[in-house]
Amino acid sequence: DYFIPDEAKVSIDKLPATHHNGYVGLVIGAALATKQLPLSKLEALCAAIEQPIVLLGGPEDAVNGQLLADINQEKIFNACGKFKLHESASLVQQAKVI
């Protein structure tokens, strides 16, 4: 089990209003480049997902996250590098699916 400290729980208000009724979490980061999906595949995946999306990853994923978010800023929120580890875990916990 992973326990998230109360002070690290992310309020839904920190996400765009379009994401307040639920979202799909999409982890775009990986420790090794060979474990990451290419940007073109991530674009296709985002297009296929009908629900709002929160992109998760570290600061090193922020540029690709922004490229994806720029496709549809109402639907895709780039959280890469914006939240600490426990906060990202809170976003994972609140997602409808990862």
Structure tokens at 16: 């765009």
Q: b vs e for 2-39, b when ≥16 Cβ sit within 10 Å of the residue's Cβ?
A: eebeeeeebeeeebeeebeeebbbbbbbeeeeeebeee
pLDDT per residue as tens digits for the range 65-80: 999 999 999 999 999 9
Looking at residue 95, its pLDDT comes to 98
Whether 14 shows a pLDDT value over 90: the answer reads yes
Spell out the CATH class of 17-94: alpha beta
Q: What is the mean pLDDT of residues 5-11?
A: 97
Looking at residue 26, its pLDDT comes to 98
| Mean confidence (pLDDT) of the chain | 97
pLDDT per residue as tens digits for the range 24-66: 999 999 888 889 999 999 999 999 999 999 999 999 999 999 9
The domain spans of the chain are 17-94
Looking at residue 32, its pLDDT comes to 87
Looking at residue 87, its pLDDT comes to 98
* Model confidence, pTM: 0.94
